[in-house]
């Protein structure tokens, strides 16, 4: 069984219009939400074995804060350029290229790719919009990552900062 966690970057700041899209930092809300979501993740007893992040500052900072809160070493986060608006095919290729020893992978990236990707997995579970710092867990009963497809994968749950109840399960 393999788990794939899709984490959208936390809320970013638009205060400095001189910054490029990749340079935008997290807002105050984003700085609060990322560790909160990491703590929720850890409270469910979940663990990560590899984290890949978009090179955009807001995504990398989200990954660092989330990982610090859940016990994954932030220095082990891998910056992956293909997570910066490269589309679903690039995401699929990243997943299929993982080491087979790995069981739990997190990808930290952006909308609209994250919402499109999550909705392409399981047509019985629709998410209108993965909000900032939203987390989707996918599960696939495979032994080797190269065998991963959207057809052998299900959405396990969806959680987001303003969710005050249990995670939304299929």
Mapped onto helix, strand or coil, the DSSP state of residue 4 is strand
Torsion angle defined by CA atoms of residues 34, 129, 115 and 142, in that order, rounded to the nearest 10 degrees: 80
Residue 101 burial (10 A CB sphere; 0-12, 13-18, 19+): exposed
pTM for the full predicted model:
0.95
Average pLDDT over residues 137-159: 95
Residue 137 has pLDDT above 90, yes or no: yes
- The model's pLDDT over 57-101, given as tens digits with 9 standing for 90+, comes to 999 999 999 999 999 999 999 999 999 988 888 999 999 999 999
Residue with tokens 């939400």: 33
Domain ranges of the chain: 2-169
- For residue 170, the model assigns a pLDDT of 58
- For residue 115, the model assigns a pLDDT of 95
Q: Which residues pair with 7 in a beta bridge?
A: 108, 135
CATH architecture of 2-169: 3-Layer(aba) Sandwich (3.40)
- For residue 17, the model assigns a pLDDT of 86
- For residue 102, the model assigns a pLDDT of 96
Q: C-alpha distances in angstroms, 68 versus 32, 87, 100, 104?
A: 13, 28, 25, 16
Residue 110: pLDDT band (50, 70, 90) is very high
């Amino acid at each position: 069984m393999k788990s794939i966690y899709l984490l959208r970057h936390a809320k970013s700041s638009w205060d400095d219009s001189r910054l490029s899209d990749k340079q935008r930092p997290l807002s105050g809300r984003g700085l609060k939400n990322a560790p909160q979501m990491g703590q929720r993740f850890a409270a469910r007893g979940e663990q990560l074995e590899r984290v890949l992040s978009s090179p955009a500052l807001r995504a990398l900072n989200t990954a660092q804060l989330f990982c610090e809160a859940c016990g994954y070493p932030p220095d082990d986060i891998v910056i992956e350029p293909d997570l910066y608006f490269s589309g679903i095919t690039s995401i699929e290729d990243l997943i299929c290229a993982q080491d087979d020893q790995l069981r739990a992978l997190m990808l930290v990236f952006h909308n609209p790719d994250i919402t499109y990707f999550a909705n392409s997995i399981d047509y019985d579970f629709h998410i209108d919009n993965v909000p900032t710092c939203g987390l989707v867990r996918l599960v696939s009963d495979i032994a080797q990552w190269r065998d991963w497809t959207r057809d052998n994968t299900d959405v396990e749950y969806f959680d987001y900062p303003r969710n005050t109840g249990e995670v939304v399960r299929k």
